Structure 1
Amino acid sequence: MTETIEIPTSVNQLTPAWLTAFLGENGHDTSIVSVAAEAVGTGQMAGSYRLTLDHGSPTDLPATMVAKLATGGPEQREFGSGVFRNEVRFYRDLAAGFTVPMPRCFAATISDAGTEFVLLLEDMGEAVQGDQITGCTPAQAESVAVAAAGLHAPRWNDAALLEEMPLPGVPEREMMESILAPMADVYRDRFSPDTTSSAAIDWLVREAGDWLVAPLRNAALIHGDLRVDNVLFGPAGDVTVIDWQTITTGNPLRDIAFLLSTSLTTEDRRKHERGIVASYHRALVTEGVTGYTLDECWTDYVANLIQAPLIIVFGSAAAQPTERGTAMFDAMLSRSAAAIDDLVPGGLGGR
């Protein structure tokens, strides 16, 4: 942790002197003489900026990096402290154990309170961030799902991981249920969802408690917010997964259900989801997972479609209101509600 210098909460505080000291404390010898910054990405909880650095002398460090930091007001940063800790923890302590494609992290720091943090990450160059409102192609979704196997498989049913990051239990269920219905009401007031989407919210409130603590046959580290806004697509079709703020342990198909039900159009999902789940399953097997059939994988996919409305309702409350955010959450809930209606037996039958 960087303790000798104050952690910035504004891009203007990422000065040459601060960056030089920060990189030095993280084992990189440089003396930056100038820095230029431009905003990148569409993050809802933190700001991201591409930094163009003049190192002043030869160095192994690149000339550009992406800086991610908490930029909101004190209340917003306090609200986000848990997810900030998650992302710093992932890059510092966990990332090296996985094969999922992700940016290299050059330096990381977070305050004791978790309300201030900075990450200096690899600039992925010509890669383009996915657009959650437009969605992605089936081929792109398949590439992301296959890449996700490199997150799930390496610590599949890893007892040490589950001891370090326990699965939710009764206290977590009680806490979630105490705030879920009020947050669902806030979502309805803010977004005015259509009939099917509103039924999906009713279903979420009704089913989420049992789902959260249901016994699992398989568990792994999951991204928790795996959708195309959190993926960079390279010119050669390669993918890089970003925004590791919501990592947790759980059924790995939570990630795949969330990805496909929110990032594909309803028509594309209906045509391609079984094939994409099969490709993901093959990737798990290739990565070393055994004793897990494709039928079990599909059953887990359907059982975890609840991940989408859950993240949408909670995420919309945490995010700063923006015109794009409103359109994004509306599109995501509409698509995921259609998936629930299609696949979950009796899921929205109470409409």
Structure 2
Amino acid sequence: MALSEAAKLHRSFWGDETLFDLPWDSRRNDEQTAQTLALLEVLQPAFVERYRDGLTAEATEISERFVRNASNWFSKIPEPSTLVHGDFRLDNLMFAPTGSEVLPPLVVVDWQTVAHSHGAHDVSYFVGSAFEPDIRRQNEERLVLRYFEELTKEDPIPSVSWDELWLNYRRYSWSGFIMAILASMIVGRTDRGDEMFVAMANRHASQVVDLEATEFLERPE
């Protein structure tokens, strides 16, 4: 349900050039990228130190590798295609009780990170954070395909192929990992928050490795 609703949102704004004129939707630019790179360089060591006992060795290594090559990843981000939530995870979804007639059946909250980006951003962020790695691996391609089918089943049909979507789904597996590092070190600290950020980092690190998304850290040719 969550990915179907994301597809409906994304389809409504896919390719909408007026999004470039909106002052309130975040969009990656050189200044923002430079600020993010500087923050990652400063915060990643503190992130690893704080959560060392909870992070997998894989997550620790991946965080160090990303910071060393983050500029390469940002340089390959595709042109924005639609309006995305930016923090599309289970904590920000409210579901109607099973069997109830409450409409809509799903409400998405916390829109402070709304952005003009690629639709795959929300999809990879959600799938990577919502499931334990074994469950994700068993269902990942099926879930992304469901999103793609919903995205392309009605007008206006976005000009996106399955291959392009899957490529960018892999690319944006890094998005949740980046959020785990930055947000954990900026927001007020709580026990529940610590557990959530460790889970995000570990799950997204596993997703990155499974999808071989480290290739997006290579220097552009």
Place the TM-score, normalised by the shorter chain, in its bin.
0.7 to 0.9
Residue in structure 2 matching 1:321, options 189, 193, 196: 189
- Are residue 187 (structure 1) and residue 47 (structure 2) matched? yes
Contact 1:231 1:241 in 2 (8 A): yes
- Identical columns (%): 25
Contact 2:86 2:114 in 1 (8 A): yes
* Alignment RMSD: 2.1
Contact 1:169 1:213 in 2 (8 A): no
How far apart are the structure 2 equivalents of 1:291 and 1:272? 25
- The alpha-carbon distance between structure 1 residues 150 and 203, as it changes in their structure 2 partners (threshold 3 A), is farther
2:78 aligned partner: 216
Contact 2:95 2:107 in 1 (8 A): yes
1:338 aligned partner: 206
- Are residue 286 (structure 1) and residue 144 (structure 2) matched? no
Gap regions ≥5 residues in structure 1: 1-142
Question: Partner letter of residue 197 of structure 2?
Answer: F
How far apart are the structure 2 equivalents of 1:216 and 1:236? 38
Question: Partner letter of residue 41 of structure 2?
Answer: A
Question: Partner letter of residue 306 of structure 1?
Answer: W
- Are residue 227 (structure 1) and residue 80 (structure 2) matched? no
Higher RCO (Cα < 8 Å, 6 or more apart): 2
Contact 1:204 1:309 in 2 (8 A): no
Gap regions ≥5 residues in structure 2: 100-104
How far apart are the structure 1 equivalents of 2:106 and 2:66? 31
- Are residue 162 (structure 1) and residue 20 (structure 2) matched? yes
Deviation at 1:150, TM superposition (A): 2.0
Question: Partner letter of residue 149 of structure 1?
Answer: A
Q: Secondary structure at the match of 2:188?
A: coil
Question: Partner letter of residue 183 of structure 1?
Answer: L
Q: Secondary structure at the match of 2:159?
A: coil
Matches within 5 A, 1:245-256: 245-256=112-123
Contact 1:340 1:347 in 2 (8 A): no
Matches within 5 A, 1:58-73: none
Deviation at 1:318, TM superposition (A): 2.2
1:178 aligned partner: 38
Deviation at 1:210, TM superposition (A): 3.1
Contact 1:253 1:301 in 2 (8 A): yes
Question: Partner letter of residue 212 of structure 1?
Answer: F
How far apart are the structure 1 equivalents of 2:83 and 2:69? 23
Contact 1:200 1:337 in 2 (8 A): yes
Deviation at 1:320, TM superposition (A): 1.3
Question: Partner letter of residue 173 of structure 1?
Answer: T
How far apart are the structure 2 equivalents of 1:348 and 1:189? 26
- The alpha-carbon distance between structure 1 residues 322 and 271, as it changes in their structure 2 partners (threshold 3 A), is same
How far apart are the structure 1 equivalents of 2:42 and 2:153? 43
Q: TM-score, normalised by structure 2?
A: 0.86
Q: Which has the larger radius of gyration?
A: 1
**Which is richer in helix?**
2
Deviation at 1:297, TM superposition (A): 1.2
How far apart are the structure 2 equivalents of 1:316 and 1:303? 22
Deviation at 1:281, TM superposition (A): 0.5
Contact 2:87 2:122 in 1 (8 A): yes
**Which is richer in strand?**
1
Contact 2:11 2:158 in 1 (8 A): no
1:144 aligned partner: 2
1:305 aligned partner: 173
Deviation at 1:294, TM superposition (A): 1.5
Deviation at 1:206, TM superposition (A): 3.1
- Are residue 153 (structure 1) and residue 11 (structure 2) matched? yes
Equivalent pairs, count:
207
- Which stretch shifts more, 287-296 or 207-216? 207-216
